[in-house]
Amino acid sequence: MEKKLKIVGFLCNWCSYAGADLAGVSRFQYPADIRVIRVPCSGRVNPLFILKCFQEGADGVLVSGCHPGDCHYQEGNYYTRRRMMMLKDLFCFFGIDKRRFHISWVSASEGKKWADVVTAVVEDVGAALRGSEKQ
């Protein structure tokens, strides 16, 4: 049985959280390793949250927001995109496996995509952990 992973998901309330709800409504099944934190906008996700998650022992972190252009607050996810790009680059530079940190855009009508993203992230994080254990 797959080892239970601890993955923290920061979901923007207007799109990704609604998409996750829609995945529920459409009964798209996906692994139960993710724990969702609802934030008003993906722009609210402070890189310090992600650092603290990894520091406290999270196996993986997913930040999911509206597709650029759809943001309920007009520009939040544009900044998220740049911040996360830099942060992911930084993580890789220091040797944190990039498969443990994911960013995705899931809109309110993409229930299936949400289920697929979570499944992919769980697989990636599992592979990353197995990979590092092998070393």
Partner 1 sequence: MIGKIREAAKRMLDDGTVRLFLGYGKNGLGDTVPVFLKHKEDVEALYWDETCRYNLTRYLTDRDVICLEEGPVGVIVKGCDQKSLKVLISEKQVERDEIRIVGVVCSGMKDDNEEILSKCGTCDSWNPDETFCDIVIGQTVERKIEEDEYSDVEEVEALDPAQREKLWGKYFDRCLRCYACRNVCPLCYCKECILEQNDPEWVPPSASKENNFYFHIIRAYHLTGRCTDCGECERACPVGIPLRTINRKMIKAVKDGFDFVAGKDPEARSPLTRFRRDDREDFIT
Partner 2 sequence: MNKRVLVIGGGIGGVQAGLDLAGMGIKVTLVEEKPNIGGRMAQLDKTFPTNDCSTCILSPKLLELASSPDVDIYTCASVEGIVKTEDGFVARIKKRARFVDEKKCTACGLCAQKCPVKVPDPFNKNITMSKCIRIPYAQAVPAVYMIDREHCLRLLEGKCGVCEKVCPAGAIDYEQQDEIKELSVGAVIVATGAEEFTPRIRPEYGYGIYENVVTSIEYERFLSASGPTNGHIVRPSDQKEPKRVAFIQCVGSRDVASGELGYCSSFCCMQATKDAVVTCEHGPNIRSTIFYIDIRAYGKDFDRFVDRAKTEHGVEYKRSRISGIIESPDTKNLVVRYITPDGALKDEEFDLVVLSVGLRMPDGLGGLLEGIGVKLDAYGFCRSGAFSPGDTGVDGVYVCGTVTGPMDIPETVVSASAAASLAARGLVSPDREPLGKAADRKEPDTSGSPIAVGVVVCRCGTNIASVVDVPSVVEYAASIPNVTFSEELLYACSQDSIRHIINKIREHGLNRVVVASCSPRTHEALFQKGLEQAGLNKYLLQMTNIRDQCSWVHRDTPDRATEKAKELVRMAVGKARHLTPLHERYSDVKKDCLVIGGGLAGMMAALDVADNGFVVHLIEQESFLGGNLLKIKSLLTGEDVASAVERIVKRVLEHPKIELFLNTDIAGIEGYVGNFTTKLLTGDRETSVEHGAVIVATGAREHVTESYGYRTDPYVVTGREFETILEKKNPLLKYVKRIAMIQCVDSREGERNYCSRVCCSQAVKNILRLKERYPEKTVYVLYRDMRTYGLREPYYTAARETGALFLRYDASRKPVVEKIEQGSFIIDVFDKILQETVRLPVQLLVLGVGIDPLDTNDRVAKMLKVPLTQDGFFSEAHVKLRPVDFSTEGVFVCGMAHGPKHTDESIAQALAAAARALTILTRDRIRSQAYSASVDEALCTGCGTCAEVCAYGAIEIDKEKARVNELLCKGCGTCTAACFSGAIDLSGFTNKQIVKEFEELFI
Q: Which residues bind partner 2 (CB under 8 A)?
A: 4, 6, 8, 13-15, 17-18, 20-32, 35-41, 43-49, 52-53, 56-58, 69-76, 79-80, 83, 107-109, 115
Per partner kind, with CB cut-offs from 5 to 8 A, the member of partner 2, partner 1, none near residue 84 is partner 1
101-105 sheet: strands from edge to edge: 34-39, 7-12, 60-65, 101-105
Helix (H) or strand (E) holding 45: none
Q: Which of 30, 32, 17, 29 is nearest to 119 (CA)?
A: 30
Nearer to partner 2, 30 or 101 (CB): 30
Angstrom distance (rounded) from CA 65 to CA 109: 13
Binding mask 51-90 for partner 1 (x = CB under 8 A): xx-xx------x-----xx-----x--xx-xxxxxxxxxx
Per partner kind, with CB cut-offs from 5 to 8 A, the member of partner 1, partner 2, none near residue 127 is none
Structure tokens at 2: 């797959």
* Residues whose CB falls within 8 Å of the CB of residue 120, separated by 6 or more in sequence, listed in order: 102
Start-to-end CA distance of the chain, whole Å, equals 22
Confirm or reject binding of residue 104 to partner 1 (CB under 8 A). yes
Q: Site residues (CB under 8 A) for partner 1? A: 47-48, 51-52, 54-55, 62, 68-69, 75, 78-79, 81-98, 102-105, 117, 120-121, 132, 135
